[in-house]
Structure 1
């Protein structure tokens, strides 16, 4: 009897050691996954500040909190379970879903680039519509718009997170995906909150109660932030095109191999190899976004005609 008990304890001890060794891989997997989704994280960080522009400064952090809370709920309760279920029952669906999301990122990235170089007469009409609604309604619209954009980016993040842990024990998969969801949400929206309040921090530091060096630093922050946010929006657009195209390329073996060949040809200078791949993906994403935009425009032209025909 004692020998049987000791044998059982040995088995339990061995099982605990194996489990602990397995769980030790979780931080490594989280770090690896976070690096894989860095482009999407940059895009998410760059896109979000625009949703609080023009609103009451006292509501900025509240709005960011609302977006962050909904983003985390979507990641934890919808997107992570969906990725795990798909990975178990239909793993073949992960890549096509990623590619659809990548195409959407290319389309949205192209739309942003197009808007930078063209004038839109409909903007005035949209501005009039905004003036006609209450601040509370405008805030709700902004939050809803931010959550819609975020859920696409979050879906990409969680799908990529799952792709990094396939073949791992189920417990590891769940822990890694939950950790990635929490870490990225806190990091992104914590940084966004800091960005949108940076000018207030600068104004506070520029107050008379501080020394001349501190006041100068505060004024520098106030002057720098508009330029930084503009640069960040450009970086976010570039990241959107780059990430979207690279996701699609990974799903098409021929293009994936071309990118690998490009990197290998410039492997002697890693920075140049990385930049060449990013430029190739960015240009490819811009071209793909253009074609998707043309298809969307064509569909919009055709649909009203069909509606009118059915009405007649």
Structure 2
């Protein structure tokens, strides 16, 4: 009787064993799916070549950068630029060379950790983002104080710099900054209202980033559930005029012309891996989104 119960009667494995095998295979597939691929740093064996100047950080990593404007010796303003989610060191504010010379501006933009030709930072945090900016400024001899301009998701480095290195900042400008809907200083009703105005995929992605960061790589890679419109490229602007201009740029090819130089840059990580690393700040700070309005300016209290 026991032998009969342990088999199906035709020599096939017991049903319980088959179930365990299926569960083990599913668990193995899921563990592999949620694990991001290892990075391939520029200059490493099998990785893209290094073509940009790079500065060494205190932990041994390298950040790639691009300079514009006047030389440091004749500069009235020394500016560091932190790019957004889909940007790079080539994505600094597009001021003409004539204007930069007239104002006496030296500007350096850099690939944030894991972007472009900069090494990834497996221990990335808000504090490390500020430290990278300080290390870059020191490596380039920008002096005791410098200005910082940040855009979109790159503004997490601005928030962090105000907190961790305020003594190094002559001023900070944030353009369309990413904010944290969980900040205690925001009215809860207003924060909840703005959060729910986002597309469903963005809401879910930010919840995953906050509650289950270990699942984020798989979530950003899958296509059968709503996910981030930033990654999928399906987002729209709540402002009607901005959305009209976006659609015009797409239909006329203007967007492709502007973006064409950037895919030619050697990228050290995949798009989804970059999104996971970018969302690390959301896991650290909470759920975030773009602030209403164009730009904010912060002046440090110290110094």
Taking structure 2 as the reference length, what is the TM-score of the superposition? 0.23
Higher relative contact order structure (alpha carbons within 8 Å, sequence separation ≥ 6): 1
Taking structure 1 as the reference length, what is the TM-score of the superposition? 0.22
Decide which structure has greater helix share: 1
